[in-house]
Amino acid sequence: MNALVRSALVATLALQSACVSMVASKYQPGLANAEILSRQLDAAPLRVGRFSADPKLDSKPLNVRGSTLSGGEDGKFSTYLRDALSTELRTAGRLDDNAASEISGELLQNRLNSGGAAAGDGQATVQARFVIKRDGAQVYDRTLTADHHWPSSFMGPIAIPAAFDNYTATVQKLLQQLFSDPQFERATAR
């Protein structure tokens, strides 16, 4: 391929992958999470408390090939995680604003990579600390990390939306770890 054709192809691809700024899509509960929560027959309801993160981590959009992804409705990723947890608990019938047990959390890591301009794996990491208190006494304190990989594309218009969608899948995996944790099940038992 001669240099002129190659330059035209690169320019066309660059135009196709124009920068986009998005807010993370509305969280959808995971089927695996619903199954796990439904098997916990002796589980008490939970209320969802405060979720936080370092301000540099919480409000900093994730950058994917010049496009950015922001967190929840307020732009914070701790809010997105809190809302995701609330959605999962609500779907399973386990959310109760008056429950004796409260779950809170802190977002510790938040990374998203579409695999770069060359084809390769996309990767996301979300790490959070979850704390459950029952009647004011701490009964659960764990830090969990979800790493998620997916096939990426050389083409920005394919890779960028895939990365944004897979961020949500990473949050689902993190919550699946939480719900699958035997200590979580014991801490939320009636």
DSSP the chain: --HHHHHHHHHHHHHHT---EEEPPPP---HHHHHHHHH-TTBPPEEEEEEEE-HHHHSSPEEETTEEEE-STTS-HHHHHHHHHHHHHHHTT-B-TT-SEEEEEEEEEEEEE---SSS-EEEEEEEEEEEEEETTEEEEEEEEEEEEEEE--SSHHHHHHHHHHHHHHHHHHHHHHHHH-HHHHHHTB-
CB within 8 A of 1, min separation 6: which ones? 9
The confidence score (pLDDT) of residue 171 equals: 97
Give the pLDDT of the chain (190 residues) as one tens digit per residue: 555 445 444 444 444 445 667 778 889 999 999 999 999 999 999 999 999 999 989 988 888 887 888 888 898 999 999 999 999 999 999 999 999 999 999 999 999 987 755 557 889 999 999 999 999 999 999 999 999 998 887 777 778 888 888 999 999 999 999 999 999 999 999 8
The confidence score (pLDDT) of residue 16 equals: 46
The confidence score (pLDDT) of residue 118 equals: 54
Sign of CA dihedral 37, 43, 48, 53: negative
CB within 8 A of 110, min separation 6: which ones? 53, 57, 62, 77, 125, 126, 127
pTM of the model: 0.86
Distance between first and last Cα of the chain: 69
The confidence score (pLDDT) of residue 66 equals: 79
The tally of CA atoms less than 13 A away on the side-chain side of residue 129 is 8
Strands 121-134 and 137-151: antiparallel
Q: Which has the closest alpha carbon to 105: 47, 28, 149?
A: 47
The confidence score (pLDDT) of residue 13 equals: 45
Q: Is the CB of residue 111 less than 8 Å from the CB of residue 86?
A: no
For the chain, the maximum distance between any two Cα atoms, rounded to a whole number of angstroms, is 72
